[in-house]
Amino acid sequence: MKDKARLSSGRPPLDGLKRQIARSRAGDAPARRKADSFIRETFRLQRQAAREKAQEWFDTWPKAAYWTEVESWRALDDDQIEFTMRRLPTAD
């Protein structure tokens, strides 16, 4: 009955999405992500320090050679940013 109420309200159930986000944040990423060759590192820093850290990654591992990118980010309380940087291990 609960599902019918959600569907009739026009909003899809979000239980599956909530579980997927929780697994991802807990480090239990999908197998396809584990199988790729990217190196990832997640940081939680103050806004200015986050900008500097991201710039450090781009300076150390240029985007054109290592496909460096900010894979995901989110703003937290107290002006903190949590973000994941990703790059290839080599520039072959």
In percent, the amount of the chain with pLDDT more than 70 equals: 80
Residue 2 lies in a domain: no
Residue reference for tokens 């159930």 = 13
pLDDT in tens, 29-49: 555 455 789 999 999 999 999
5 located within any domain: no
45 falls within a domain: yes
CA distance 28 to 92: 29
Report the pLDDT averaged over residues 74-86. 96
Give which of 64, 78, 70 is closest to 43, Cα–Cα.
Answer: 70
User: CA-CA distances (angstroms) from residue 2 to 8, 12, 15, 17, 56?
Assistant: 10, 12, 12, 17, 49
Distance between alpha carbon 83 and the CA centroid of its chain, in Å? 6
In a domain, 20, yes or no: yes
Please report, for the domain that includes residue 53, its CATH number.
Answer: 3.30.30
**What is the model's pLDDT at position 38?**
95
pTM of the model: 0.62
**CB 85 within 8 Å of CB 57:** yes
1 occurs within a structural domain: no
